[in-house]
Chain A
Amino acid sequence: MGLMAETIPAVEITNLVKDFKTSFGKKLLRAVDGVSLRIMPGEVYGLIGPNGSGKSTTMKALLGLVAPTAGHCAIFGKDSLKVDSRNDVGFLPENPYFYKHLSGAETLKFYGKLCGLGGKLLDARISELLALVDLEGARDRRLGGYSKGMLQRIGLAQALVQEPRLVILDEPTAGVDPVGSRQIRDLIFRLKERGITVFLCSHLLEQVQEVCDHVGIIFRGKMVKEGRLEDLIAIEDQTEIILKDADPELIGKITALVEASGASLVRTGKPRTTLERLFLRETTEGDEP
């Protein structure tokens, strides 16, 4: 990636405002209210917020699917309302339905051709993508017979077909079981390794926390908090010590030390694994490397 590309943000949204007409004429509904955000190449950015807070509208504005009432969106410096801004972006909408009559390979071929690809290059790309999203076995199966997780993964492959430098994922794990969710999470990691910028929105905080390095929190159309994940969630005045095989005597000593030093002990106890980790351990034992 050239030096220029490093300096141009992958996503630049400035003061985005979007009003929608409500069904009864005059009254306008402000879905997005002055949102600004910037994603630099290579970042994984998570936009979080409750349902109806303006996440999807922001993404649609970035893709040119809705026109901003005010403000400006650009992808790698290109105006989102222009077609060529979409050369470098792949999009996976929330709960996508692709054409049921097409097989996995045909779906990728269709989207590849839309991007002007063709011939052996496209065939090779399709095989590569199917391998990436682990759908080689379902290559020639119609999408009508795909599970939700498979659909999400073929959707991701579709978004990647023209090798975009940015992918936008709208609720990528909505309605997907934990195993499928984990596969998608792994895919996002792989994209990150390859230097692809990822912009995802979700209301599943745990997931965002796991994969994103930047987060924005949007609420009622306004960006309420934004920044590096680590900075945002670190509790500056606390320190965590996790011990193994410590007997109560040792714990007593440490507690005494803490009290003597003037600091305070917030809590002690046994750390718990997350339910997700437990579920995954129980359901995928042996399959996972």
Chain B
Amino acid sequence: MTGIQLNKPQGSHFGRIWVIALHAFTQLVRMKVFYFLAVFAVIAIASNFFDLPQHEGPESVGINVLRSIKSWSLGTMTLFSVVLSIVATALLLPKDVEDRTLYTILAKPVPRLDYLAGKLLGVLLLVFVSLALMDILMTVVLHLRAGMVLDQQMAMAQARGWPAEAIAELRADTALHGPSWSLQGAVWAVFLRASIMASLALLISTFSTSTLFTTIISFLIYFIGHFQADARDAYLQAGEAGQGMLVRGAGLVMSLVLPDFQNFNVIDAVIEGQALPMVALAKLSAIGLYYAIFFTGASWFLFAKKEF
């Protein structure tokens, strides 16, 4: 024996969380989730070649291709991130309980909060890395294609003898659909929404009895969450609309309990070429963090007293 003596818990909370996170990350990676990235690569590149039928003149041709690349890419990112964050989170906890690996971990000096936070961070790490890779691919494809479209458009405009302002306008219009910081912001919003879903799935899985239950309930909340804002409006504007107490009360309960995902629909506006201001993104980030911390805290509250 080398003679190490331990009296106090060794290492920082963050150190432990990081060890568990990295481990959850590798565990998921070995479950071959990254194959999905290959699928994404095919989609991102193929979306270049979708020969979309045109209803309109030649100047909008290129822009449609750019929009198609963005739609496909962000759509795939949305699907991937939501499915992965829910399913992976719903899977990891019960798997550890079933395989009794949880006993060996909790029998070490590991606070239960560290364990939960580590698992969540591992899933988020995976989602983040995947989104980052997809984002890079999308940006590269978009950059190349936007350059080609712009060249084509300039050639067309010059051939037709457009005035300088018209060419500048066209150029600006096309630039809106190329790679932009707003697009990066939209990818970040996709990640934020996935973080909320992962932490929510974590909460559910601390009291759920099966992976299937966690997954189904999480997806349900995900979809209903998109209408939470309507329930809130029903509560806030019930007076004006002359609705009864019942509607008002139901609206209030719904908007207090369910997360609001409608604000994250800015992603669609960005795909359509709208600019996403930093302030809005910062507020979305604050909301994402708020949810993630609350759900993790609530998970710990339940998990701390759980018996195995």
Contact = CB atoms under 8 A, between A and B. Distances in A.
Given A60-B308, A101-B27, A115 B11 contact: yes
Interface string A159-179: 100111000100000000000
B305 interface: yes
Given A60-B308, A65-B107, A83-B9, A116 B23 contact: no
Nearest to B12: A116
B140 interface: no
A110 B104 CA distance: 11
Contacts of B6: 87-88, 115-116, 162-164
B23 A110 contact: yes
Contact of B111 (A83, A94, A96, A111): A83
A121 B109 contact: no
A128 interface: yes
Contact of A91 (B3, B8, B107): B107
A121 B305 contact: no
Contacts, number: 119
Given A65-B107, A91-B107, A162-B108, A116 B101 contact: no
Interface residues of A, number: 43
Contacts of B27: 99, 101
Contacts of B307: 60, 65-67
B54 interface: no
B8 A87 contact: yes
Contact of A116 (B1, B9, B103, B107): B9
A116 B17 CA distance: 11
A121 B2 contact: yes
Contacts of B99: 97-98
Interface centre among B5, B10, B107 (most CB of A within 10 A): B107
A95 interface: yes
Contacts of B109: 83-84, 86-87, 114-116, 162
Given A87-B9, A110-B19, A93 B4 contact: no
A99 B15 contact: no
B16 A114 contact: yes
A91 B2 contact: no
A114 B12 CA distance: 10
A93 B10 contact: no
A67 B305 contact: yes
Contacts of B101: 96-99
A110 B101 CA distance: 12
Contact of B104 (A96, A117, A164): A96
B110 interface: yes
Contacts of A125: 2, 4
Nearest to A170: B103
Interface of B: 1-11, 15-16, 19-20, 23, 26-27, 30, 99-101, 103-111, 305, 307-308
Interface of A: 60, 63-67, 83-84, 86-99, 101, 110-111, 113-118, 121, 124-125, 128, 155, 158-159, 162-164, 168, 194
Given A128-B2, A162-B108, 20 more contacts: A63-B103, A65-B307, A67-B307, A83-B111, A86-B108, A101-B26, A101-B27, A110-B23, A113-B19, A114-B16, A114-B20, A114-B110, A115-B10, A117-B4, A125-B4, A155-B104, A163-B1, A163-B4, A163-B6, A194-B1
